[in-house]
Amino acid sequence: MVNRIVTGAHYGLKDWLVQRVTAAIMAVYTIVFGIVYVVSCPKDYFEWSYMFQPQWMRTITLLFFLSLFWHAWIGVRDIFMDYIKCTALRLGLQVLTILVLIAYALWTIQILWSV
C-alpha cells in the first residue's frame, strides 16, 4: 500500500463540543454533591448509602459518571492519536478503552442501585 498522509475525516467538532458539555455537567455535579455532602454530613456506610437513596441523587450521579467516561474516552483517544502511530495497535487500544469504559458504566449502575 502507498503510504500517503491522509486527512479529512470530517469529524471532531461533536467530540470537541461533547468534551465541553460533559465538563460543564461534571462541574455542576461537583457543586451539587458538595452541597448534599455538607447538608447530610455522612459519617458511616449507612449514612453514605442513605445519601444515595433518593432517585434524583442516583440519576445525577449516574449522569456525572457517564459524562466522565465520555469525556475520558475523547481524551484518551486524543492521546492515542498523538502517540500511537501504528493503526492496528491504535485501533486495538481504542476498542479496549471503549470496552473498559462500558464495563465501568455498567458497574456504576450496579453500585448506585444496590446501595
Partner 1 sequence: MLFKIYRYDPDKDAKPYMKEYDVELSSSDRMLLDALIRIKEMDDSLSIRRSCREGVCGSDAMNINGKNGLACVTSLATLKSPVELRPLPGMPVIRDLIVDMSQFFKQYHSVTPYLVNEQPAPDTERLQSPKERAQLDGLYECILCACCSTACPSFWWNPDKFVGPAGLLQAYRFLADTRDQSSSQRLDNLEDPYRLFRCHSIMNCVDVCPKGLNPTKAIGKIKDMLVKRMV
Burial 56-75 (b: 16+ CB within 10 A, else e): ebbebbbebbbbbbbbbbee
Among 2, 11, 87, 88, contact with partner 1 (rule: CB under 8 A): 11
- What does the alpha-carbon distance between residue 73 and residue 87 come to, in Å, rounded to a whole number? 18
Collect all residues with Cβ–Cβ distance below 8 Å to 113 and sequence separation of at least 6. Answer: 58
Q: Say whether residue 13 binds partner 1 (CB under 8 A).
A: yes
Q: Which is nearer to partner 1, 16 or 50 (CB)?
A: 16
Q: Say whether residue 91 binds partner 1 (CB under 8 A).
A: no
Among 27, 78, 91, 103, contact with partner 1 (rule: CB under 8 A): 78
Q: Which of 18, 27, 7 is nearest to 74 (CA)?
A: 18
Q: Which is nearer to partner 1, 8 or 88 (CB)?
A: 8
Q: Say whether residue 1 binds partner 1 (CB under 8 A).
A: no
Q: Which is nearer to partner 1, 35 or 79 (CB)?
A: 79
Collect all residues with Cβ–Cβ distance below 8 Å to 74 and sequence separation of at least 6. Answer: 15, 18, 19
- The least CB distance from residue 85 to partner 1, in Å, is 10
Among 1, 2, 3, 5, contact with partner 1 (rule: CB under 8 A): 5
